[in-house]
Structure 1
Amino acid sequence: PGAASFNPYMSGQEASYAKAQASLASHKRLFRHSKSFVDSPSPDQVPSKKSLPVRAFRLAVTTAFQVWVDLSIDITESLHWTPRVVPYIGYGTEKYSRLICRLVRSPRGYVPVKMGVKGIRAAFMVPASHVPVKIDIDNSPLESVQIGTSYKRDAVDRKKNQNASQAVSDSHGYLDLVTEGKVSPGIHKVTYKVKGRKPVLAPLYTVGKKEKIGVISDIDDTILVTDVPDPLQAVYNMLFLDPSKRRAVSEMAQFYNALSQELGGHAPFFYLSTSPWNVEPMLRYFLTNNNFPRGPLLLRDFDPRPKTFIPNGVEHKLEFCRQLMDDFPHMRFILVGDNGQKDPFTYAQIARENLDRIIAIGIRQLQPKEGILRHSLHPMPDVPVPVFYGHGGANLIRTMIPYLRVYMKTQKWGGKRIKG
């Protein structure tokens, strides 16, 4: 909104609103746009259309992986390992919920640690395919489900509903579901149970219609230090470092909590990462251990075996940003990422597709030493949305929070102006 002129005959409320509008216009000088190339983040990911060398390499990788899976299953079956559920955080609306878990083989009596296993163990979990799972939400069993895919966006389609007894893991061990049913806003308990194992629990974040603003955040290098400049260190951190020792980016937790407070304390946070679902428990522990606002994680399937659609990192984030836009059409969003891994291109694309729904974009600027190569750092394409920059949370607190505080004072929801 542009600056409003002041009129001596305005009421006190009108004058306050006009003053806030003028303040918002002045705050817009705090952000800047930088022109770049037109975004092209979604190259064709259909395997059959890849070049011959790429297809040959992929065939070699998938064949080797399939041999490993088959051998691992044979060995674990001979050891009498049984399927168990690795539950992941779900989210949903008051009308439907999105749930995801993975079935893997483990020794009888195995109890996973709360912080998640180290990456090396998570990377080599043996999938348990075609295993039936019983699921309930707050002790109410599911009756019908829509079985989706763990690596792409699934539109809600009642015609695809099946009896809940048909909820079985796919060939990769994943069980991705959409289930219809009225659920009140708040955090709920999802229970998963397979034969021969104790039930396991996962939270379900249900977002109500009263929530008008949400936050979509990247994880890697935005809030979690990955040590990318040193490839060996990055691999070590992912595979061997104790989850409790993973470091948060300076003052980003303070920024996120300040952001949450400005939005009323109930705004949902959604965390995106190109990391595999295997490390979800570790990332969940990281968020809790470093006092970030709680929220669902949207990760990806690294299993290289054939799929009809193989999302790269950019496409993965686009898919799930679009899914969130579809799931919550009544909400506007704040996007937070970094200038590595093409986050600026991804968020620019989402902003262009949803100009009236993106409030602002926050970009954490990586130092040149934080990228393996200098050209791995990307400027923000030119978009008609406020963009704020900072090397850490302190910078974004100084620039982005004042803008959002004024923005909240100028907005009307359902005919009522929000008071900051």
Structure 2
Amino acid sequence: MFKTAFKALLPLLERGALTADRAFSGYVQPRRARGKLLLQPYVGWGTPGRVELRGRVLLPRTVAPARRTDPRLRNAQNVLRRLFSREVGGVTVSGVLNGQRAAAVSDSDGYFTLEFTPPSPLPGGWHQVPLQLDGREVQASARVQVVADARFGVISDLDDTVIQSDVTSVPRMLSTVLTGNARTRLPFPGVGALYRALTRDGEARNPIFYVSSSPWNFFDLLWQFLDYRRIPLGPLFLRNWGMDLLGGHGGYKHGVIEQIFQRFPDLKFVLVGDSGEKDPEIYAEVVHRHPGRVLAVYIRDVTEAHRDEGVLKLREEVRKAGVDLVLAADSLNAASHAMAMGLITPGEYRSVLTSVARSYET
């Protein structure tokens, strides 16, 4: 009964919160825009003929670079500074890619999206986009991933798939997320070696996309974590902090994956997630929606036996569609399957094996 009543009230709560937010923004945004501003670009992505770059305009915050020796209290303070960001709307942001200029105005949450359609096709790989707030000296540089000539792509969750977050236990998750930083948070054994093998860094790179329910406020923390742990970098798709987080995890993730599949209609994908939330169900539906587009599904086992039973049932359904779903406790089983499919080489498999073995030794 409570759940039914809450679902009925949710639209009213959302409309009330939206009205209050607009009223507050209408008052405070013009005043914020007159002060010192911070330009926070995210990671652009696209094809040789179309690129999208998102970012945010904020008031500056003081977050010192992460160190392994930072006390837990300082980490918690930095997390709170990220969460309670102060957004600035109504500001024009411009950028230049391959000689083409694009501009957009930040919305009430500070977000802006630049869209580029270069007159000549861009080469695959990473590109730099200089950004500027019009009429100000504030500048930044954004990275853009252009996908061309890839064998396949990788779509991966982050929490409890790449980074240990303990999402199945709320107290442990809060302790991990609130008191850790980019240097102290831990990856799962072998995940860096596995992802480097799948993306083939240094060759015709296979793109990787990270889709997470974490808020955009944590973008810099997650990006620094990936870079520090030598895990291949790629566009991050996160969620807006606030009422948007009340929406279903599955619906949000479905939408992002559909967007990626539509942008690259000729590209096949490997899907990587964990058993802690709804990744197996989401990926199973993606397999059925897009026959022949999914090469394999790798699910990290982070839950108890009763959840595993449900995932194994999904595995049988997915197998009927011609796709293997691998449920494994570490990266090694996924690497073994990937090697058998020819997605990675025997040498790359041995690198994953060595990485996993070393992690258990320390």
TM-score > 0.5 by shorter chain: yes
Equivalent positions of 1:28-47 (< 5 A) are none
Pair 229,315 (structure 1): closer, same or farther in 2 beyond 3 Å:
closer
Q: Distance in 2 between matches of 1:105 and 1:178?
A: 24
Q: Does residue 101 in structure 1 map to residue 55 in structure 2?
A: yes
Check whether the contact 2:190–2:331 (CA below 8 A) recurs between aligned residues. Answer: yes
Alpha-carbon offset, residue 337 of structure 1: 0.8
Q: Which residue of 2 aligns with 1:44?
A: none
Pair 263,85 (structure 1): closer, same or farther in 2 beyond 3 Å:
closer
Q: Does residue 401 in structure 1 map to residue 338 in structure 2?
A: yes
Q: Distance in 2 between matches of 1:376 and 1:66?
A: 44
- 5+ unaligned residues in a row in structure 1: which ranges? 1-49, 144-163, 409-420
Equivalent positions of 1:328-367 (< 5 A) are 328-367=264-303
Pair 362,294 (structure 1): closer, same or farther in 2 beyond 3 Å:
same
Which residue identity does 1:130 align to in structure 2?
Answer: G
- 5+ unaligned residues in a row in structure 2: which ranges? 1-5, 68-74, 346-362
Q: Does residue 379 in structure 1 map to residue 315 in structure 2?
A: no
Alpha-carbon offset, residue 378 of structure 1: 4.9
Identity %: 25
Check whether the contact 1:84–1:197 (CA below 8 A) recurs between aligned residues. Answer: no
Q: Which residue of 2 aligns with 1:325?
A: 261
Q: Distance in 1 between matches of 2:186 and 2:168?
A: 15
Q: Does residue 223 in structure 1 map to residue 188 in structure 2?
A: no
Q: Does residue 196 in structure 1 map to residue 136 in structure 2?
A: yes
Q: Does residue 125 in structure 1 map to residue 57 in structure 2?
A: no
Q: Distance in 2 between matches of 1:64 and 1:236?
A: 31
Q: Distance in 1 between matches of 2:164 and 2:255?
A: 24
Q: Which residue of 1 aligns with 2:14?
A: 58
Check whether the contact 1:258–1:401 (CA below 8 A) recurs between aligned residues. Answer: no
Check whether the contact 1:92–1:98 (CA below 8 A) recurs between aligned residues. Answer: yes
Q: Does residue 180 in structure 1 map to residue 121 in structure 2?
A: no
Q: Does residue 293 in structure 1 map to residue 232 in structure 2?
A: yes
Q: Which residue of 1 aligns with 2:209?
A: 270
Pair 393,71 (structure 1): closer, same or farther in 2 beyond 3 Å:
farther
Give the length in aligned residue pairs: 323
Alpha-carbon offset, residue 303 of structure 1: 3.5
Q: Does residue 255 in structure 1 map to residue 194 in structure 2?
A: yes
Tell me the alpha carbon deviations over residues 239-273 of structure 1, each in whole angstroms, 9 at most, x when there is no partner: 44222211111222222223334996611111110
Check whether the contact 2:156–2:209 (CA below 8 A) recurs between aligned residues. Answer: yes
Pair 303,82 (structure 1): closer, same or farther in 2 beyond 3 Å:
farther
Q: Secondary structure of 1:405's match?
A: coil
Q: Which residue of 2 aligns with 1:314?
A: 250
Structure number with bigger Rg? 1
Pair 57,235 (structure 1): closer, same or farther in 2 beyond 3 Å:
farther
Alpha-carbon offset, residue 66 of structure 1: 5.9
Q: Does residue 232 in structure 1 map to residue 167 in structure 2?
A: no
Q: Secondary structure of 2:297's match?
A: strand
Q: Secondary structure of 1:92's match?
A: strand
Q: Distance in 1 between matches of 2:108 and 2:343?
A: 50
Q: Distance in 2 between matches of 1:326 and 1:215?
A: 15
- Larger RCO: Structure 1 or Structure 2 (Cα < 8 Å, ≥ 6 residues apart)? 1
Tell me the alpha carbon deviations over residues 24-77 of structure 1, each in whole angstroms, 9 at most, x when there is no partner: xxxxxxxxxxxxxxxxxxxxxxxxxx9432234435655665677678658857
Check whether the contact 1:342–1:378 (CA below 8 A) recurs between aligned residues. Answer: no
Q: Secondary structure of 1:212's match?
A: coil
Q: Distance in 2 between matches of 1:238 and 1:407?
A: 32
Pair 226,64 (structure 1): closer, same or farther in 2 beyond 3 Å:
farther
Alpha-carbon offset, residue 224 of structure 1: 0.9
Q: Which residue of 1 aligns with 2:101?
A: 142
Q: Distance in 2 between matches of 1:134 and 1:377?
A: 51
RMSD of the alignment, in Å?
3.3
Equivalent positions of 1:142-181 (< 5 A) are 142-143=101-102, 164=103, 167-181=104-118
Alpha-carbon offset, residue 388 of structure 1: 1.3
Which residue identity does 1:284 align to in structure 2?
Answer: W
Alpha-carbon offset, residue 113 of structure 1: 4.7
Alpha-carbon offset, residue 394 of structure 1: 2.1
Q: Distance in 2 between matches of 1:387 and 1:88?
A: 31
Tell me the alpha carbon deviations over residues 196-248 of structure 1, each in whole angstroms, 9 at most, x when there is no partner: 3431111101111x213111111111111112244233224334422221111
